[in-house]
Amino acid sequence: MDELEKSLQARPEQILYANLLEKGMLFGLILVLATYIVYLTGLLKPYIPLEEVPGCWHMSVDKYLDHCRIHAGWAWLGMVGYGDFLNFIGIALLAGITIMCFAAIIPVLWKQNDKLYALFALLEAVILGVAASGILGAGGH
Amino acid sequence: MTRSAKLALIVGACLLAVLLMDHPVLAEAAGAAGQTSSQYPWWLWPVLLFVVTFVMGVAAVLGGGGGGVLFVPIISGFFPFHLDFVRGAGLLVALAGALAAGPGLLKMNLASLRLAMPVALIASTFSIIGAMIGLALPTKYVQIALGVTILGICVLMLTAKKSELPDVPRADRLSSILGIYGVYQEATTGQIIDWKIHRTWQGLVLFVAIGIMAGMFGLGAGWANVPVLNLLMGAPLKISVATSKFLLSITDTSAAWIYMNNGCVIPLIVVPSLVGIMLGSFVGVRLLKVAKPTLVRWIVIGMLVFAGLKALQKGIFG
């Protein structure tokens, strides 16, 4: 492969990132669709009956959580036995795949002696991880 | 297209939006949300949402905007959902679109990970802050700010120029230290293009504001990313568009988690929107060959003007 052809190709960490992102995205989307079908068909009983959801979605999130007695954060993990909360698995995977991608390219960048970008990737994974952890609360309305 | 024809199109689109608002279901729903939306069968809403987001997906591709920027103002204006849930869904819609496009763009070396990473660090950090501000502020203030932002986006869409290959005489010091440069082959001409960027710190500072707005309003921020990457920092248009799309997958991830952890995700709203907009984008790409994108672009701008005014009205008058 000559120099020009090589320079036109994406760098190894970029290819690794793209491959992981592709697999995670496809798996996440399939999961989102599959769990939604389970939810709509009633294969798993929803926590909030479908006909009652339109009575809740006009409320602010605080009122909605209070009215439906739902805990925010990762509490949904304990409720995946319900059809509606089952959907959160696919959604969380879609929202989490980027963290995995950044974590995966850290060793590749480090090996290339690209320590600055390895640090960037680590920082990005930490920032997204903190956002995902739920430790950053938000004020209510 | 003449100026008066463009104006007529915007007015026409606004009228269409007004007509839509006059539809009994949507008008009642947008007005007295709680009581009326539960008068209709539950399945009507996901079906309507799917149809509207499908059209939105088509329009987004043909009009040259992202689905994310259309979703929040239009859905919050026409549907009975609280803005908290619309913003949560909007971020997930923009995120899914970016995730779907990202791998291909990275593999083709059109999206640059080296350009995206320093920018993403700033944008994703500030989109977390934006999401926290957006959830802490009273809804009416967010509505007003959203209305102003949407009208600003319309002005940007009407006035911003694009530069295929901006003239960057010399890479600046910061971009040289960060090693932000690349090579790509222009598919239409076969030309090999060496690119580099300048005004890096100025661009990074602007991504503070872009991150905050993306998180606060749940908007995809492609409308802002592209002008900054292309016109200010001097990245070629194709690299800017592709990197912006990929960048959304990072910026929206951080804000989406904040909304998700605060309970702003209702699957009955999120999933039909996500599927509708993705299928619509898929069809839109195929329609590109036969449609007149300029016409659609003006309709999109008209709808956004109306949605921006509607958000302002909701914020000011309740």
Give the pLDDT confidence of A26-57 residue by residue, as tens digits: 999 999 999 999 999 999 999 999 999 999 99
Integer Cα distance of B264 and B289 in angstroms = 38
B169: exposed, middle or buried (Cβ count in 10 Å: 0-12, 13-18, 19+)? exposed
Please count the structural domains in chain A. Answer: 1
CA distances from B264 to A72, B28, B247 (A): 9, 23, 23
Confidence of residue B7 (pLDDT cuts 50, 70, 90): very low
In the DSSP assignment, the letter for residue B39 is T
| Predicted local confidence at residue A1, as pLDDT | 57
| Predicted local confidence at residue A6, as pLDDT | 77
| Predicted local confidence at residue B66, as pLDDT | 66
Integer Cα distance of B129 and B254 in angstroms = 10
pTM of the full predicted structure?
0.86
Indicate which of B44, B78, B81, B82 best probes the interface with A, i.e. most A CBs within 10 Å of its own CB.
Answer: B82
**Is the model's pLDDT at B205 over the cut of 90?**
yes
Calculate the average pLDDT of chain B.
83
In the DSSP assignment, the letter for residue B121 is H
Between B64 and B146, name the one with better pLDDT: B146
Report if residue A3 sits inside a domain.
Answer: no
Interfacial A residues in 50-69 facing B (CB < 8 Å): 50-61, 64-65
Confidence of residue A5 (pLDDT cuts 50, 70, 90): confident
Interfacial B residues in 263-292 facing A (CB < 8 Å): 263-271, 274-275
Report if residue A71 sits inside a domain.
Answer: yes
How is residue B3 written in tokens? 């100026």
Distance from CA of A79 to the nearest CA of B (A): 13
**Is the model's pLDDT at B22 over the cut of 50?**
no
**Is the model's pLDDT at B164 over the cut of 60?**
yes
In the predicted model, what is the mean pLDDT of residues A46-69?
Answer: 94
Residue A11 CA to its chain's centroid (Å): 25
Distance from CA of A111 to the nearest CA of B (A): 16
Q: Do A21 and B249 touch (CB under 8 A)?
A: yes
**Is the model's pLDDT at B32 over the cut of 50?**
no
Q: Do B42 and A36 touch (CB under 8 A)?
A: no
List of residues 6+ apart from B270 with CB closer than 8 A: A87, A91, B88, B89, B92, B93
Q: What percent of chain B has pLDDT over 70?
A: 85
Calculate the average pLDDT of chain A.
92
Q: Is B37 on the interface with A (CB under 8 A)?
A: yes
Output phi, psi for A107, to 5 deg: -65, -35
Report if residue A114 sits inside a domain.
Answer: yes
Integer Cα distance of B8 and A28 in angstroms = 43
Q: Do B249 and A8 touch (CB under 8 A)?
A: no
Report if residue A22 sits inside a domain.
Answer: yes
Report if residue A1 sits inside a domain.
Answer: no
For B188-219, letters b (16+ CB in 10 Å) and e give: eeeeeeebbbbbbeebbebbeebbbbbbbbbb
| Predicted local confidence at residue B11, as pLDDT | 46
Which residue range is the domain that position A61 belongs to? Answer: 12-133
Query: For A129-138, B11-20, B227-236, B271-280, which range has the lowest pLDDT when averaged over its residues?
Result: B11-20
Interfacial A residues in 76-105 facing B (CB < 8 Å): 84, 87-88, 91-92, 94-99
Report if residue A113 sits inside a domain.
Answer: yes
Q: Return the number of CB contacts < 8 Å for A and B.
A: 198
